[in-house]
Amino acid sequence: MERGTRSVMGEIKERILINAPISEVYNSYKDTTNWKYALSDVLDVETIYDDSFYQEFYMTVERNLKPETVRTIRFCEPLKTIELFQPDPPPQVNSMRGKWEFKAISSKVTEVTATRIYELKNIHENETYQKKLTEHLKRNLLLFKSFNEKVGVIEVSRYIPASKQEVFECFWDIKNWYKVWSPIEGVEVNFDDNYTQIFTMEVWRDGICEKVQTIRKRENDQITFTSPVAPPKLKEHSGSWIFKNEGEGAIVTATRNFQMDKEQILEDEHHALKNYKYNLQMRLLKILDSFVDYYEHKKGGIINEIH
């Protein structure tokens, strides 16, 4: 083996307390169909085998804005542990295995401990890899906590072929959003001093025209917002648009946090949350894609003019 590229074993462990009964928490992890509702980067799950104790499946996740499919094998011990390994591990490692352990702290609180054990191909990458994997694991635990505590959390991104500043201003310019995003029926700007913005937007969703007031703020590289009166079916609704330089363009990330209003929904709260989250996530991706299209056409137009 080449000198300086020795492999190294690594182990990380993270814990979280979730305010939900152990059976619900265990099931949220065990049932792979939940994953695309709990995590925004899970695009699809294809089950090869699942007898509820043993599972083999392909999970397609978005990594660096590209789909990546990973095969996972899991051993489930009901209400105790779910152990996993990836027979075709990620390129940086020789092996990747781990487990989730579930412990009932009380009838309504569950402790989840997640462990990952890996053999990294290059010892020199250990610090960076461990840090990245720890962040990823912490984030996954937090997202499952939200899912089990019935809080909707979404985070989706797209690359837009224009400078960060130009895209930021375009997202801030709410009066002209209709040029990019067609479901907007009308916008009335109530206040705008270029740092704080209050507007009322009429927007079509599922065949119904919703009138929603939003308060937005510029904060460095992001636009944050809240809805003083949450949209229909929701109790709380807030979010942000985050802008980051990426080559000659920008990556725009849309985040959302929301809770369903039990008094406005007829179905089971968890079911309603899953549906709402999935639909909102799809809608956010459509909005982001429409900005991508807008800038691609704009760029194409300029190129055509030159030629």
Partner 1 sequence: MPTTTLLKNKSKFTLESFKKILDQISIDYDDSFNVHFTVGDDLEMDSQEIVELLCELETEYNLSLKDGFIKRTDNVETIIEKMNEVLLESDEGSNHLSTPYEFTRIDTISIKTSISNMTEAIWDLGGWEEKLPHIKKIEILYDDNYNQEFYMTVQTDENKEAVKVRSIRRLINLHEIEFFQPQPPKYLLHHAGKWSFQSINNEQTEVILEHKWNVNKDTLVLLYPNLSYEQACEKIDYELFEHAQASLKLWKEVLEA
The residues binding partner 1 (CB under 8 A) are 22-23, 26-27, 48-49, 51-54, 56, 73, 75, 78-79, 83, 85, 87-88, 95, 97, 119
CB-based burial label for 226 (10 Å; 0-12, 13-18, 19+):
middle
In whole angstroms, how close is the CB of 43 to partner 1 at the nearest point? 22
Q: In the complex with partner 1, which residue's Cβ is closer, 94 or 279?
A: 94
In whole angstroms, how close is the CB of 107 to partner 1 at the nearest point? 8
In whole angstroms, how close is the CB of 56 to partner 1 at the nearest point? 5
Q: In the complex with partner 1, which residue's Cβ is closer, 73 or 285?
A: 73
In whole angstroms, how close is the CB of 182 to partner 1 at the nearest point? 46
Is the sign of the CA dihedral 190, 198, 259, 65 positive or negative? positive
CA separation for the pair 50, 28 (Å, rounded): 15
Q: In the complex with partner 1, which residue's Cβ is closer, 27 or 134?
A: 27
At a CB cut-off of 8 Å and minimum separation 6, what does 180 contact?
Answer: 170, 290, 291, 294
Q: In the complex with partner 1, which residue's Cβ is closer, 32 or 253?
A: 32
CB-based burial label for 52 (10 Å; 0-12, 13-18, 19+):
exposed
Locate tokens 């460095």: which residue?
Answer: 220
CA separation for the pair 93, 28 (Å, rounded): 28
Q: In the complex with partner 1, which residue's Cβ is closer, 109 or 187?
A: 109
Helix (H) or strand (E) holding 16: strand 8-18
Number of other residues whose CB lies within 10 A of the CB of residue 23:
13
In whole angstroms, how close is the CB of 141 to partner 1 at the nearest point? 21
